[in-house]
Amino acid sequence: MRVLVTGGAGFIGSAVVRHLVLEKGYEVLNVDKLTYAGTLTSVKNVETNPFYRFLQADICDGQAISAAISSFRPDRIMHLAAESHVDRSITGARDFVETNVLGTFTMLECARAYWQSLEPAGKEAFRFLHVSTDEVYGSLSEDGLFEETTPYDPSSPYSASKAASDHLAKAWTRTYGMPIVVSNCSNNYGPFHFPEKLIPLMIISALEGKPLPVYGNGVNIRDWLFVEDHARALDIIAERGRIGETYNVGGRNERRNIDVVKRICTLMDELHPAGKPHESLITYVQDRPGHDARYAIDATKLENELGWKAQENFDTGIEKTVKWYLENEWWWGPLRQNYDGSRLGLLKTVTQK
Ligand code: NAD
Ligand code: TYD
């Protein structure tokens, strides 16, 4: 099995690469531009594995992507490369439109040309998995869950660009008959998570005795999934998902942001008592523009149809994650050259004269 993974130097992509190479014994070509969010240190434990190869390329570069596909001849493409941080999308949407929309378009067109050139058996077996987010569905109120049939209603430039890319992927199946499956997952957390996102930012800031900035009043809810559970789900969906279908991925672990931060503080009190009590670092700050109130996934289709189940719950996963950050400064320390921890995504107030 040969799998081309885009974005394999990122958080989820690297977990997918590690899973496919080390657990499944697949041949993997990792195609990644290495933006501020990508680092090859996340795939260090496969870099000398004979089943693993890396190509630095931009998914918007059709020539480079075509050449990579033609020479690697994948049985599957798992497309994860994206600009992924909501706060950055608020102040710099262009990169999101370019990579998430035009980059996905380029991936689909290059994959289509290759797929059409395959002999019938290869054509039949080929799959393209487009990896997306539950944020395309917008915001939930107190009740209800995102289902695969929930209408799209994105709030941020990030989620709007992912929604656009999902629509392209669906259209490429309907119009060209391409064997594409789409997955929409809730918030991930775990090792190798770039420290601009809530959970790693809070762990590292707590370790350093810096303020823990909670947006608004901290009652926004996210549904947390351990990244390795997501990687396994993606492999299963790419292998057995029905063409043209969407699968929602989530671990049924809804938490208010403030409770996530408090849990991290309690774990830090146990594991790094020097800074006790870490809760005293919690600081409420100006809310994110367009902040979605609640996300929650109904993963019944994936569980019943494809037999996936999350192995970690939030309590086990968050403890592993905090311990991992405390033990792996070699990984996150150097990434500060790319991000210094300062607040992202605030609009400048324009005062009218
Ligand atoms: P990430 O930001 O950690 O990694 C993205 C990777 O893509 C990086 O290695 C980066 O270098 C690469 N990349 C960016 N632009 C590129 C380009 N133009 N060409 C080639 N490579 C490029 O993101 P992540 O959290 O690992 O997310 C991976 C995918 O999963 C994304 O499509 C995201 O929308 C989706 N997703 C993420 C979450 C989450 O909680 N993080 C949840 C659901 C879905
Ligand atoms: P984030 O990790 O950016 O993921 P997403 O916006 O894709 O859900 O944020 C998770 C939640 O945490 C979100 O509701 C915003 C909030 N948040 C804070 O309260 N403080 C922070 O410093 C960050 C980065 C996020």
The CATH number for 233's domain is 3.40.50.720
pLDDT in tens, 139-187: 999 999 999 999 999 999 999 999 999 999 999 999 999 999 999 999 9
**Sign of dihedral through CA atoms 169, 52, 9, 42?**
positive
pLDDT in tens, 190-220: 999 999 999 999 999 999 999 999 999 999 9
Q: Which of 89, 331, 332, 88 is nearest to 202 (CA)?
A: 332
Name every residue whose Cβ is closer than 8 Å to that of residue 5 and which is 6 or more positions away in sequence.
13, 16, 17, 20, 28, 29, 30, 31, 77, 78, 80
Strand-pairing partners, residue 249, are 185
Domain that holds residue 173: 2-191+224-253+290-313
Q: What pLDDT is stored for residue 4 in this prediction?
A: 99
Q: What pLDDT is stored for residue 36 in this prediction?
A: 98
Is residue 18 in a domain? yes
pLDDT in tens, 20-34: 999 999 999 999 999
User: What secondary structure letter does DSSP report for 336?
Assistant: G
The H-assigned helical ranges of the chain are 11-18, 62-72, 86-91, 93-96, 104-117, 120-125, 157-176, 198-207, 227-240, 257-271, 300-306, 314-327, 329-332
- Compute the distance from residue 97 Cα to the ligand 2 centre, in Å: 21
| Atom 17, ligand 2: residue with shortest CA distance | 198
- Rounded to an integer, what distance in angstroms lies between the CA atom of residue 264 and that of residue 271? 10
| Atom 12, ligand 2: residue with shortest CA distance | 198
Is residue 284 in a domain? no
Q: Counting beta carbons within 10 angstroms of the beta carbon of residue 109, is it exposed (0 to 12), middle (13 to 18) or buried (19 or more)? A: middle
Ligand 2 closest atom vs CA 135: 7
- Rounded to an integer, what distance in angstroms lies between the CA atom of residue 273 and that of residue 292? 34
Instruction: Check if 14 has its Cβ closer than 6 Å to any atom of ligand 1.
Output: no
Positions of the chain with pLDDT under 50: none
Instruction: Check if 78 has its Cβ closer than 6 Å to any atom of ligand 1.
Output: no
Q: How far, CA to CA in Å, does 184 sit from each of 149, 166, 245, 331?
A: 12, 9, 11, 28
Instruction: Check if 198 has its Cβ closer than 6 Å to any atom of ligand 2.
Output: yes
Instruction: Single out the catalytic residue among 114, 158, 189, 247.
Output: 158
Is residue 43 in a domain? yes
Is residue 344 in a domain? no
Q: How many domains does the chain divide into? A: 1
Strand 254-256 and strand 221-223: the pairing is antiparallel
Q: What pLDDT is stored for residue 348 in this prediction?
A: 79
Is the separation of the CB atoms in 172 and 108 below 8 Å? yes
Is residue 268 in a domain? no
DSSP 175-199: HH---EEEEEE--EESTT--TTSHH
Strand 52-56 and strand 76-79: the pairing is unpaired
Instruction: Check if 205 has its Cβ closer than 6 Å to any atom of ligand 2.
Output: no
Is the separation of the CB atoms in 32 and 6 below 8 Å? yes
- Compute the distance from residue 157 Cα to the ligand 2 centre, in Å: 15
Percent of all residues in the chain with a pLDDT value above 90, rounded to a whole number: 98
Is residue 306 in a domain? yes
Is residue 324 in a domain? no
Name every residue whose Cβ is closer than 8 Å to that of residue 50 and which is 6 or more positions away in sequence.
none
Is residue 214 in a domain? no
